[in-house]
Amino acid sequence: MKLNGKNLMIKKNPILLTYYITNRCNAKCDFCNIWKQENKKDAKKGDVLENLKTAKEELKIKFVDFTGGEPLLHNDIIEILTYAKELNLYTSITTNTKLYPRMAEQLNNKVDFLLFSIDGTREFHNQNRGGNFFRSLLESIEIAKKLNENPDLIYTVTNESIKYIDDVVEIGQKNNLMVQINPVFEYFENEPITGKNLDIIRKYFWKKNVYVNLAQLKLIENNGNNLKKPRCRGVTSNLVISEDNKIILPCYHNMKWEIDINHDLKKAFNSKKRNEIEKQQGTFPFCQECTINCYFDPSFEYEVDKYMFWSLLSRIKYSCEKYFINKFRR
């Protein structure tokens, strides 16, 4: 730990590797534009395996989130996950479930944090994703339960979709699965969640089978990141690698700099450029009022303040329910 001004900073290695292994997607979600990217590409298997080994053994990273795009579209995802588990990395995948039913047995016991996307009722979910995805969602839930998997439902809430919050929570409770309520962030031309809707989300904190990150709600209420007193630790907490084998800085959503890995992740990680950007994290003009949860969620662990407290409270509630209480409900 080190004292930085009035705040107690917790200095450590990144806890999370966010690996964009493909920008291909078989959905067309309204709140995302990755599927619109014209230059479709997958990360090379050899690069991924090499980077995973360095991330675990040299950089001491514990978690890897394979994302995209739709990560299950990557032809080598099973082999990649298998190797990640051999390295004792905790793995995470969020999927729209279209491919999950046919891949479920191969994925079994290879994904520690499996998340199924859900947007609302059948009609709204299919409309928002541009196809018949609700059927595969329900089928995936049943298959996962038979395989003794314990997926979460991740519900990205917009001002339009919040009216379906009870429908989503009901599906989670009916299947004894946790529902992660995640307010949409102001990106991809999304409208920020309103204060009224934040209040609605907060009321679900103590609901059965529901996870709400109170720290994230507080951050949004406080107008997000402040350049004069930045709370983002996105570069410190989260190593982001793109499909074309580059470190993305300061984050994927505000991609301003890239560092070629070129078979030496440790060298790229310790480069002068990355260190310079890390020192400036949260202070760039585009960082003002940012609330992107992908980076703030791990950032909350890097400074002792009210956000850390609210984040810990939320995680404790989630962990107790998912890993202890729900076992007795099955």
How large is the average pLDDT for residues 115-126?
94
- Which band of pLDDT confidence, cut at 50, 70 and 90, is reported for residue 1? very low
Question: What is the enclosing helix (H) or strand (E) of 110?
Answer: none
Task: Please identify which residue in the block is written with the tokens 């580059």.
Answer: 246
- What are the strands of the beta sheet with 210-212, ordered from one edge? 210-212, 179-183, 152-157, 113-118, 90-95, 63-67, 16-20, 238-241, 246-250, 255-260
How large is the average pLDDT for residues 63-84?
96
Give the angle subtended at the CA of 66 by the CAs of 197 and 139, to the nearest 5°. Answer: 70
How large is the average pLDDT for residues 153-168?
96
Q: Does 2 score more than 80 pLDDT?
A: no
Q: Does 204 score more than 50 pLDDT?
A: yes
**Structural domains in the chain plus CATH codes:** 14-329 (3.20.20.70)
* Alpha-carbon distance values, 268 to 6, 45, 111, 256, 311 (Å): 32, 19, 27, 16, 31
How large is the average pLDDT for residues 252-276?
97
Q: Does 3 score more than 50 pLDDT?
A: no
Residue 28 — φ and ψ, nearest 5°?
-135, 65
The two beta strands, 179-183 and 210-212, are parallel
**What span, in angstroms and rounded, lies between the C-alpha atoms of 232 and 260?**
24
In tens, the pLDDT along 268-298 reads 999 999 999 999 999 999 999 999 999 999 9
pLDDT score of 25: 81
**What span, in angstroms and rounded, lies between the C-alpha atoms of 281 and 232?**
7
Instruction: Look at the pTM and tell me if it is higher than 0.85.
Output: yes
- Which band of pLDDT confidence, cut at 50, 70 and 90, is reported for residue 34? low
Sign of the CA dihedral running 69, 72, 78, 81: positive
Among 34-43, 125-134, 254-263, where is mean pLDDT lowest? 34-43
Q: Does 192 score more than 50 pLDDT?
A: yes
How large is the average pLDDT for residues 75-83?
98
